[in-house]
Amino acid sequence: MMRITQKTRTRVMDFTIYTLLSILGVAWVLPIAYLLYTAFRVTPSTGIINTLIPEDLELGIGNFVRLFRDTDFAVWLKNTLIVSFSSCAITTAFVLMVSYAISRLRFRFRKSVINILLVLGMFPGFMSMIAVYFILKAMGLTNSLLALILVYSGSAALSYYICKGFFDTIPRAMEEAAILEGASQPIVFLRVILPLAKPIIVYTILTSFISPWCDFIFVNTIISERDKYTVSLGLYKLINTEKSGFNENFTVFCAGASIVGAIIVTLFMSLQSYYVEGITGGAVKG
């Protein structure tokens, strides 16, 4: 008797959970489905769907054709790739260097370095944006992709924390053994510790590669020439005109957004396990 009620209870519970998960899953997928659907839609003038089940189910790649023909999307895509590859390389190197130094090396001003980084990280980035713009201008760099690369990677040291958390977990014995065998510090760093830190390196690469695809505030400040836009700013400008509401670019926006989305999703999914290890390992270490 006992056993049966227990079983029914479990079944009811499972059923509830499946229902809830399905409802929530739909809620999470629906907007994305809407994005994709709009992107592939053969556009009427406004690009609005009026009914749940649209009258015309015609699909096509017209929006993508318009995206590449009528806008500078191809150029934006190229710009973003240049910026994200370069800034990703610099950022990753910087983050690894700083977090390695703070985690594994003991030097006199280590505590002060930690505190300086902590304090600097507290200021909202927007506050310094205008000053950054003028510094770049003084260097003659505004409206160039180099400026973007410098801005995205210049303050990389501030995001050392998660990576340091990971380095902290690597046993000291590893480098002690190497040093006993006569390895120099750079060798320990490059040959002993880095190979052990693969998950966190992938995590750092992933996050720093993605950030230029998402930022539009700094680009908006630094870049004013249309052919230097990155995809995010380009797409943002496409639909963010002064008047609110829809405009005919919405379907084209969706086409561009789904391309960007597809790129990032692919990257993300292929490296998801590293990402999870990164945020759980580094961020929440007791």
Partner 1 sequence: MQAKVCAENPIKKLINVFKDGSWQTRLSFFLPGAGLLLRKQFLKGALYALLTIAFIAYMLSSGGKFLAHLFSGDLGTVISGEVWNEELQIFEKVRGDNSFLILLYGVVTIVVVIVYAWLWTTNVLTSAKNDEILKSGGQVSSFRQDLGIFLNKKFHIPLLFPPFLGLIVFTVMPLIFMVLIAFTNYDYQHMPPGKLFDWVGFENFRALFSLSGGSSSFAIVFLRVLLWTFVWAFFATFSNYFLGMLIALMINRRGIKLKKLWRTLFVIAIAIPQFVTLLLMQKILDTDGILNKLLGTNILWLTDQRNFSILPRIMIILVNVWIGVPYTLLMCSGILMNIPSDYFEAARIDGASPIKIFFKITLPYTLHVTTPYLITQFVGNINNFNVIWLLTKGGPVDNIYYGGGTQAQSTDLLVTWLYRLTTDVNPKYNVASVIGIVIFVICSFMSIITYNRSASARNEEEFQ
Write the interaction track for partner 1 spanning residues 178-207; mark x where CB under 8 A is met and - where it is not: ------xxx--x------------------
**140 belongs to the binding site for partner 1 (CB under 8 A):** no
Number of residues engaging partner 1 in binding (CB under 8 A): 106
Tell which positions 100-119 bind partner 1, by CB under 8 A: 100-101, 103, 105, 107-110, 112-113, 118-119
**23 belongs to the binding site for partner 1 (CB under 8 A):** no
Write the interaction track for partner 1 spanning residues 214-243; mark x where CB under 8 A is met and - where it is not: x-xx---x--x-------x--xx--xx---
Closest separation between CB of residue 62 and partner 1, Å?
Answer: 19
Closest separation between CB of residue 52 and partner 1, Å?
Answer: 6
**48 belongs to the binding site for partner 1 (CB under 8 A):** yes
**170 belongs to the binding site for partner 1 (CB under 8 A):** yes
User: In this chain, which of 12, 23, 32, 146 binds partner 1, going by CB under 8 A?
Assistant: 32
**268 belongs to the binding site for partner 1 (CB under 8 A):** yes
3-state secondary structure the chain: CHHHHHHHHHHHHHHHHHHHHHHHHHHHHHHHHHHHHHHCECCCCCCCCCCCCCCCCCECCHHHHHHHHHCCHHHHHHHHHHHHHHHHHHHHHHHHHHHHHHHHCCCCCHHHHHHHHHHHHHCCHHHHHHHHHHHHHHCCCCCCHHHHHHHHHHCHHHHCHHHHHHHHCCCCHHHHHHHHCCCCHHHHHHHHHHHHCHHHHHHHHHHHHHHHHHCCHHHHHHCCCHHHCCHHHHHHHHHCCCCCCCCCCHHHHHHHHHHHHHHHHHHHHHCHHHHHHHHHHHHCCC
Q: Which stretch binds partner 1 (CB under 8 A): 57-65, 67-75, 90-98, 190-198?
A: 90-98
Tell which positions 64-83 bind partner 1, by CB under 8 A: none
